Each structure stands twice: as C-alpha cells, then as structure tokens.
Amino acid sequence: MSEPAKSWGSSYRLVAAEKWKAKSAAMGRAVTEALVEYARPTAGMQVLDVASGTGEPAISLGERVGPAGHVSGLDLSADLLEIATRRAQQRGLGNVSFHQGDAHKLPFANETFDLATCRFGVMFFADVKQALRELHRVLKPGARACFAAWGPFEQPYWQSTMGLVVKHVGGPALAPGGEDPFRFASPGSLSNSLRAAGFSAVEQGIEKLAWGWPGDPAELWEYARSVSVPFRALLDRVPAEKWPAINAEVISAVSKYADDEGVHFQAEVVMASAKKS
C-alpha cells in the first residue's frame, strides 16, 4: 500500500489484525473469492498481489496457481506481512512470498508477472497514476490487473456503523485530503485511472457480495472501530459522553442484520480489470 506506514502499521491496528484475523478473514471471504474468480488465475502463473496486508487474496491465489506458479504479496507494513507469512506457512504454501515495499516503486523487474490483483488497496494509493504505471510496468504484455474497491459509503454496513457516528457528531465522515475508501465508488472513476496509466480493455462494475461477521453486533462494532483507519479522525472527535448513546444505536442498527450465526450484510464492491497491451 502507499498509505503512510505510520497509520496502517500503528499498534492498535496490528493488535486488532492479530486478535481478529480469523473472523476478519471470514468477513472478507466472499470478496476475496469473487476477486480470485474474477482474476481467473491458472496453474503456473506468476502473480503479484499489491496491498496484501495479512495475506489475502495472495494465499488463495497461491492455492490456485499451484507449485509451478508463484504469488508475490506486497505491502508497506512488515508487521502485517508477518501475519500473512504465518498464515501461508500454516496452509503449507511454499509458492507464496511476501515483500515489504511501496506500490509507487515496485521492487520487481519489468514484465515479471502474468497477473496482478489488489483487494481494497487501490483507493489508498497517494499517487494512483504512478502506482498503476508501476503495476503496468511489471506486468507481461497481455497480462491483466484486477481490483476490488469499496462502493459507496451509502450502503448498510457503513451507514449502520460510521454513518451513525457522523449523525451524532456532525462534520465529515473522512478527513479532507485524507485516506478515502470510497475514492472509486463513482462509476467509471477507476476505469479512467487505469486508462490514464496506459492500460487497455478496461472493465468496471459493481457486485453485491456477502459481508458477514461470525460473531455478535457488539463484537463487530469493536472490530470496526479498531481497524477503520480512514475514520480515525471521526472517532477521535467523539466526546466521551456521547459514546454510550452511539454504541447503543450502532449495536441496535447492526442487530437488524444479525441472527444466531452472526451478522450478515451485503457489500457493494467495485470490481475492475484492465490489460497491458
């Protein structure tokens, strides 16, 4: 990722990533699986996964490309990549490796990869055109780059959580000029960036995918507060006396999507792909 390592590697996020790694993986599983299917990996491919974080979809891709293939996962945070490395080892995957690095200056040679993926990372690149040009550089001619990005803020998961915080405290949900998970929610916006970086055969659409938490609403809200770095400024400006009312309202709203097995949202996710000519 290109976001500052200070924010994405901060201690509270690392603790949360370790504490919730199994449930977080379950929550994002449908998006991971959709991106992997969308990317169409085949045996023997050399794949780059940018902004791998704690390991997905790199690990799933490693299972698909088999021992003759290889997946290189890249992220700014060495601490998150330690979690990713352990997860790959636990799955017995010797064909997946993780590398600390910046998407704006990829540590790989020209025309190295048959496929590239990026799950919930492209929105945070400080210079999207530069990062996408780097991705274009390391792909072989004819190779595809495939992305999953958040759709609009106006969808049930976000409106039931951070949207209710905004209702109570006012002001913007996100810090002006800061990290924006919804940067590519507008139709065609990611496509335009891909074309500007030299890609062709660009496609973009919205998919509705399961976004479920295998636990209770209060636990989901604790997790969301812990890992939602772009909303840190919003959460930090909540007066202490307002938290009880906010927590109660969020848990009530999230409970509408819950049953005995967990919380079940549907997420609107932007899926986009492009090809290096």
DSSP letter at 105 equals B
| CA torsion angle 49 184 154 50 (round to 10) | 10
> What is the Cα–Cα distance from 251 to 87, expressed in whole angstroms?
31
pLDDT digits (tens, 9 = 90+) for 43-64: 999 999 999 988 999 999 999 9
Structure tokens at 123: 């929105």
Average pLDDT value for residue range 261-274: 98
pTM of the model: 0.91
pLDDT digits (tens, 9 = 90+) for 141-163: 999 999 999 999 999 999 999 99
Chain centroid offset of residue 139 CA: 21
Residue 164 has pLDDT above 70, yes or no: yes
Structure tokens at 163: 């949207």
- 97 contact partners, CB below 8 Å, separation of at least 6: 70, 71, 72, 73
Q: Are 143 and 41 in contact (CB under 8 A)?
A: no
> What is the Cα–Cα distance from 120 to 181, expressed in whole angstroms?
8
Average pLDDT of the residues of the chain: 93
> What is the Cα–Cα distance from 94 to 117, expressed in whole angstroms?
19
Residue 71 has pLDDT above 50, yes or no: yes
Q: Are 98 and 75 in contact (CB under 8 A)?
A: yes
Residue 106 has pLDDT above 50, yes or no: yes
> What is the Cα–Cα distance from 262 to 213, expressed in whole angstroms?
6
> What is the Cα–Cα distance from 41 to 74, expressed in whole angstroms?
18
Residue 245 has pLDDT above 70, yes or no: yes
Residue 195's pLDDT band (cuts 50, 70, 90): very high
DSSP letter at 219 equals H
Phi, psi at 94, each rounded to 5°: -85, -5
| Ordered structural domains, the chain, with CATH | 5-152+181-213+268-275 (3.40.50.150)
Strand ranges in 46-95 using DSSP code E only, listed in sequence order:
46-50, 70-75
To which residue do tokens 């590239």 refer? 116
Structure tokens at 29: 């599983």
The share of the chain scoring above pLDDT 90, in percent, equals: 86
The share of the chain scoring above pLDDT 70, in percent, equals: 94
Residue 9 has pLDDT above 90, yes or no: no
Structure tokens at 33: 């699986």
- Cβ burial of 29 (10 Å; 0-12, 13-18, 19+) is middle
Structure tokens at 256: 């509408």
